[in-house]
Amino acid sequence: MHKILIIAATALSLAACTTTQQGATVGAIGGGVVGAAATGGSLVGTAVGAGVGAVAGAAVGDYLRVHNRATNQCVYRDRNGREYIDVCPRG
């Protein structure tokens, strides 16, 4: 029961974050899980995995911002820094 409440609280707290912050959070959680699994649960492996995941997640979150959820449009940035709006990927 406690795990469900923790997951629900985390999901609700992410609703107010920017896509960069959401990406960093999801990346840190995923990286921590992968780091822990790869190193047999060591604290250093978990911390490194969470750090790498947070940086990667923040980069993806910054790259892909949701422009208008009602019309399913996202804001993308190309290599030159120009932003453009297109349909969001499914998923």
Total count of domains within the chain: 1
- Asked whether residue 71 is domain-assigned, the answer is no
Q: Let me know if residue 54 belongs to a domain.
A: yes
Which pLDDT band holds residue 4 (cuts at 50, 70, 90)? low
Q: Check residue 11 and give its pLDDT.
A: 64
Establish if 59 belongs to a structural domain. yes
Where is pLDDT greater, at 2 or 26?
A: 26
Which domain does 14 fall in, by range?
Answer: 2-64
User: Which residues have a Cβ under 8 Å from the Cβ of 82 and sit 6 or more positions away?
Assistant: none
pTM tops 0.75, yes or no: no
Copy the structure tokens of residue 14.
């992410």
DSSP string, 2-51: HHHHHHHHHHHHHTTS-HHHHHHHHHHHHHHHHHHHHTTS-HHHHHHHHH
With respect to residue 89, please indicate whether it lies within any of the assigned structural domains: no
Distances (CA, A) of 3 to 16, 24, 85: 21, 21, 38
